[in-house]
Structure 1
Amino acid sequence: MLKALLWDVDGTIAETERDGHRVAFNLAFAELGLDWGWDERRYGELLQVTGGRERLLADMRTRADAPASTAERETLALRLHAAKNRHYAALVTQGRIDARPGVLGLMREAAAAGLRQAIVTTTSRSNVDALMPRLLGEDWRTLFEVVLCGEDVARKKPDPEVYDRALARLRLAPGQALAIEDSTPGGQAAQAAAVPVMLRPSVYFPARELPEGWRGWFCGPQQALSVPVLREHHAACTALAQRGV
């Protein structure tokens, strides 16, 4: 039986990546005097790496003008990431990022139906604290029993650690929850934790790019989401898992 929804944030609750985080990274590069920039294509490639600091380090490994030593790169990545988070918070405050259609209503419908909810993301806590009050109001935490962010885990998605921790905090078995994700790494993390997934494609993770076999197993129906739709999808995922599919 479905008892809880486990929400990813970036790309799932809101389309934050292209016009939020990417723009903020470019502002951080300029602030630190770096002649670097991530266009939409390059940022899409880097999204295969989870975590902003980790993304920066991955990009530096391809740059001839990046610091030579690992220690220097780590220091620069920390400075850039802190600057990026400040710029991202400013973009959110300016109203540049909206929730995906139907998401906020679904959260309230789920709460009214007695479903427990958690935020299960590996983005920075400061990003969550900037975005969620803007979307749901200052009392947004009343909707979520658990809020887990990148600082709460040693290993980010696609590692299942954040899902394992959320289940432990909620005292639920994996099959009693439904993960709502938009990306391949997020879906892999939930799958590794044995949590059924509704994977809703986003700007950077369109349905055509999902791994072969995921579209029927993980990808939710394209109709408007509602609690009955979630329950139906969860039951279908559970039945497939029981058959070993």
Structure 2
Amino acid sequence: MTALRAVFWDVDGTLADTEMEGHRPAFNQAFRDLGLPFHWNKELYSELLSIAGGIPRVSIYAKDQGISLTEHQLNRLRDVKREHYFSRVREGHVRWRTGVVRLVNELHDHDVQQWIVTSSGGPSVQALLHQAKGVLPDFDGVVTSDDVARGKPSSDGYCLALKRSGVDSSCGIAIEDSAVGLKAATTAGLPCVLTPSPWDLDLSDSCDLATAVLNHLGDQNNPSLLQQGPPCLDGMVTLNYMESLLPHSRP
């Protein structure tokens, strides 16, 4: 049995590039459909990503614009936006980040549990996983915003995933891309591999919390660049490399 018993994956920006070409255009189309005077360009959306969860993001932004949306309006917006997001996933606008397919399959082949822990809602996650059939093996479990009272940066999602997995945090690793995700994972006691999203403006002040920071997970023809942490000699985050990051493996 490997020393690494579980890997806990964030979704948006970590497993796949879902934000800029998935969620953002879907929100903009939903705003148009419902007659809301909002449009999120990439620069604005980058700033708004510091707010975890799509509907909290809309609610806070609307209030900043002097518009108070009712619960009914927010629920309707969520449903319409989801349909547009599902369409974009089916049409291939959302792509896996470099190294994800390779690493998920390697971990699966070595019987390492793999869990999803995300601030997104269950239907959005399931839409993405449906497209992954035949590319990624099934995950052992999924914890979404529907399962916890507080999303990231709260550690609630990771704590629940640890409990359900039966794995101690010293034998697990989280993979994240954002400041809020990094805080959530490390507060739950998990070492964290960080593959930063370029639009997260808060990351520069948080990177020291990560056990390793790389631009992506790396593939044979596209090696990763290490920014912080132990040397990653193959230019790829592998099972062996992740095991070297565990607390009992580090000097």
Q: TM-score, normalised by structure 2?
A: 0.85
Determine whether 1:176 maps to 2:171. yes
Q: CA deviation at 1:172?
A: 1.3
Give RMSD over aligned pairs: 2.1
From 10, 13, 17, the counterpart of 1:8: 10
- Structure 2 residue matching 1:75: 3-state secondary structure: helix
Determine whether 1:160 maps to 2:155. yes
Question: Kindly tell me: are residues 212 and 155 of structure 1, through their superposed partners in 2, closer, same or farther at Cα, counting changes over 3 Å?
Answer: closer
Determine whether 1:23 maps to 2:18. no
Question: Kindly tell me: are residues 80 and 11 of structure 1, through their superposed partners in 2, closer, same or farther at Cα, counting changes over 3 Å?
Answer: same
- Aligned amino acid, residue 214 of structure 1: D
Determine whether 1:132 maps to 2:156. no
- Distance in 2 (alpha carbons) for counterparts of 1:43 and 1:124: 18
Aligned to 1:214: 208
Bigger mean CA deviation after superposition, 148-157 or 196-205? 196-205
Question: Kindly tell me: are residues 75 and 94 of structure 1, through their superposed partners in 2, closer, same or farther at Cα, counting changes over 3 Å?
Answer: same
- Aligned amino acid, residue 186 of structure 2: Q
- Structure 2 residue matching 1:198: 3-state secondary structure: strand
From 240, 246, 249, the counterpart of 1:228: 240
Determine whether 1:93 maps to 2:105. no
Task: Report which of the two has the higher share of helix.
Answer: 1
- Aligned amino acid, residue 20 of structure 2: R
Matched positions, count = 231
Question: Kindly tell me: are residues 32 and 183 of structure 1, through their superposed partners in 2, closer, same or farther at Cα, counting changes over 3 Å?
Answer: same
Paired-residue identity, %: 33
> Where does 1:32-111 land on structure 2 (aligned, <5 Å)?
32-64=34-66, 66-67=67-68, 72-111=69-108
**Alpha-carbon contact 1:9-1:121 (below 8 Å) kept:** yes
Structure 1 runs (4+) deviating above 3 angstroms are 215-218
- Distance in 1 (alpha carbons) for counterparts of 2:208 and 2:200: 13
- Structure 2 residue matching 1:219: 3-state secondary structure: strand
- Distance in 2 (alpha carbons) for counterparts of 1:174 and 1:112: 21
Aligned to 2:185: 190
**Alpha-carbon contact 1:104-1:136 (below 8 Å) kept:** no
Q: CA deviation at 1:77?
A: 1.8
Question: Kindly tell me: are residues 235 and 125 of structure 1, through their superposed partners in 2, closer, same or farther at Cα, counting changes over 3 Å?
Answer: same
Q: CA deviation at 1:215?
A: 7.1
Question: Kindly tell me: are residues 210 and 25 of structure 1, through their superposed partners in 2, closer, same or farther at Cα, counting changes over 3 Å?
Answer: same
Q: TM-score, normalised by structure 1?
A: 0.87
- Distance in 2 (alpha carbons) for counterparts of 1:123 and 1:234: 27
Q: CA deviation at 1:203?
A: 3.1
Q: CA deviation at 1:127?
A: 0.7
- Distance in 2 (alpha carbons) for counterparts of 1:85 and 1:214: 35
Question: Kindly tell me: are residues 42 and 155 of structure 1, through their superposed partners in 2, closer, same or farther at Cα, counting changes over 3 Å?
Answer: same
Q: CA deviation at 1:145?
A: 1.5
Q: CA deviation at 1:184?
A: 0.4
- Aligned amino acid, residue 34 of structure 1: L
- Structure 2 residue matching 1:61: 3-state secondary structure: helix
Gaps of 5+ in 2: 215-224, 227-234
Question: Kindly tell me: are residues 9 and 33 of structure 1, through their superposed partners in 2, closer, same or farther at Cα, counting changes over 3 Å?
Answer: same
- Distance in 2 (alpha carbons) for counterparts of 1:47 and 1:174: 27
**Alpha-carbon contact 1:57-1:74 (below 8 Å) kept:** no
**Alpha-carbon contact 1:50-1:157 (below 8 Å) kept:** yes
Q: CA deviation at 1:38?
A: 0.5
